[in-house]
């Protein structure tokens, strides 16, 4: 009897913890590969991103088979597919439909505008932000957010982050702009992907944003995603931080935003007002 019960328990255990691997490629309707698409189950901290050729691979527990896998990319309509449907139909090519562009409100900036820096402009050697996402089994991202308290029409000129323990020559990042809901990032309000690939070094690193025509007149969140070169790569650097303030991060594509008091990321923007 004990052997039978043991066998049943082992069978149940294997069923419960078995995993599903989904591979595919994300393209536009024009058959162009879409790089760095955020892919995941919303608010479950299970996600990944597509690579430079649009390919992706994600491991999901079979307990999530009835949930929706979301594909999100700026400038394209969000797509949601049931995990079970992806498996049964063996869907490997995901086509995203381009959004119709809506003209943005025109903001007038004074010709006598001045440049100011907003955010955290100092750092402490005892505060570190880790690059690697919590979801180690997938090629996922960790996203760091900074609230920018704009009160009048402003042009974003650059974003600056402080790094240490840098072990790579170059790195790729995505810069996102969000509106605010419940004091957390809500929806992306940029109209195109801002991908920056540049040489990085210990200390302050500046990402020039002037070519993207980013104009806002209300508080926003600006975020940084490090885009990993490959799965299980060596940690390329760490983000510097500062004591006090607030840390707002999420550890996975389309995951849950977490807010913690006592620490904040060393990150600021330069704006023209």
Q: Over 60: is that where the pLDDT of 214 sits? A: yes
Q: Which residues contact 21 (CB under 8 A, 6 or more apart)?
A: 57, 58, 59
Q: What is the pLDDT of residue 17?
A: 54
- Band (10; pLDDT cuts 50, 70, 90): very low
pLDDT of residue 139: 82
For the chain, give the percent of residues with pLDDT over 90. Answer: 76
Cβ(96)–Cβ(27) below 8 Å? yes
Contact present, 66 and 84 (Cβ < 8 Å): yes
What's the confidence (pLDDT) of residue 13?
39
Mean pLDDT for all residues in the chain: 89
Read off the pLDDT of residues 72-112 as tens digits, 9 standing for 90 and up. 999 999 999 999 999 988 889 999 999 876 655 666 666 67
If DSSP codes are grouped into helix, strand and coil, which group holds residue 133?
coil
Indicate if the pLDDT at residue 253 is higher than 50: yes
* Phi, psi torsion values for 86, nearest 5 degrees: -60, -40
- Angle CA 184–229–193, to nearest 5: 45
The burial of 248, by beta-carbon neighbours within 10 Å (0-12 exposed, 13-18 middle, 19 or more buried), is given as buried
Per-residue confidence (pLDDT) for residue 8, from 0 to 100? 43
pLDDT at residue 5 tops 70: no
Question: What is the rounded average pLDDT of the residues 166-170?
Answer: 96
pLDDT higher for 6 or 257? 257
Residue 273 pLDDT > 70: yes
For residue 7, what pLDDT is reported?
44
- Residue 192 above 80 pLDDT? yes
Q: What is the mean pLDDT of residues 261-265?
A: 96
pTM of the predicted model as reported, rounded to 2 decimal places: 0.87
The pLDDT of 244-270, averaged and rounded, is 95
Higher-pLDDT residue of 251 and 108 is 251
Which residues lie below 8 Å from residue 254, measured CB to CB, with a gap of 6+?
A: 38, 39, 40, 41, 42, 43, 47, 70, 72
């Amino acid at each position: 009897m004990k052997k039978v019960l043991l066998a049943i328990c082992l069978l149940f255990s294997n069923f419960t913890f078995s995993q599903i691997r989904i591979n595919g490629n994300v393209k536009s309707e024009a058959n162009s590969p879409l790089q760095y698409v955020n892919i995941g189950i919303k608010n479950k901290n299970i996600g990944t991103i597509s690579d430079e050729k649009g390919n992706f691979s994600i491991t999901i527990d079979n307990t999530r088979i009835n949930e929706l896998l979301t594909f999100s990319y700026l400038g394209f309509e969000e797509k949601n597919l049931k995990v079970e449907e992806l498996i049964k139909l063996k869907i490997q090519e995901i086509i995203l439909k381009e959004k119709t562009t809506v003209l943005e409100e025109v903001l007038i900036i004074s010709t006598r505008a001045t440049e100011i820096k907003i955010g955290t402009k100092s750092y402490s050697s005892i505060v570190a932000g880790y690059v690697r996402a919590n979801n180690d089994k997938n090629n996922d991202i960790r996203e760091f957010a900074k609230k920018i308290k704009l009160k009048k029409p402003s042009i974003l000129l650059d974003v600056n982050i402080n790094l240490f323990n840098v072990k790579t020559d170059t790195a790729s990042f995505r810069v996102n702009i969000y509106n605010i809901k419940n004091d957390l990032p809500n929806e992306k309000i940029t109209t195109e992907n801002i991908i920056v690939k540049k040489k990085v070094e210990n200390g302050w690193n500046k990402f020039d944003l002037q070519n993207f025509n980013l104009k806002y007149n209300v508080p926003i969140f600006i975020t940084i995603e490090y885009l990993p070169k490959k799965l299980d790569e060596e940690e390329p650097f760490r983000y510097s931080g500062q004591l006090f303030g607030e840390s707002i991060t999420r550890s996975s594509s389309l995951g849950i935003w977490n807010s913690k008091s006592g620490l904040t990321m060393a990150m600021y923007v330069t704006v023209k007002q």
